Amino acid sequence: MNASEENGLFRLVYVFSDHCAVCKAWERDVGRLYGDTDYARKAPLFAIDISLFSEHFMDVTPKVSKTPTFMLMIGNHEVGRIVGYQNRDMFFWALSEYISH
Backbone angles phi, psi at 29, to 5 degrees: -85, -35
> d(Cα 47, Cα 74) in Å, to the nearest integer?
15
pLDDT at site 9: 76
CB 42 within 8 A of CB 7: yes
Is residue 44 reached through a cis peptide bond, with omega within 30 degrees of 0 on the bond before it? no
pLDDT tops 50 at residue 46: yes
pLDDT tops 90 at residue 39: yes
pLDDT at site 35: 96
State pTM to two decimals. 0.87
Phi-psi region of 75 (alpha: psi -120 to 50; beta: other; left: phi over 0): left
Confidence class for position 75, pLDDT limits 50, 70, 90: confident
How many residues appear in the chain? 101
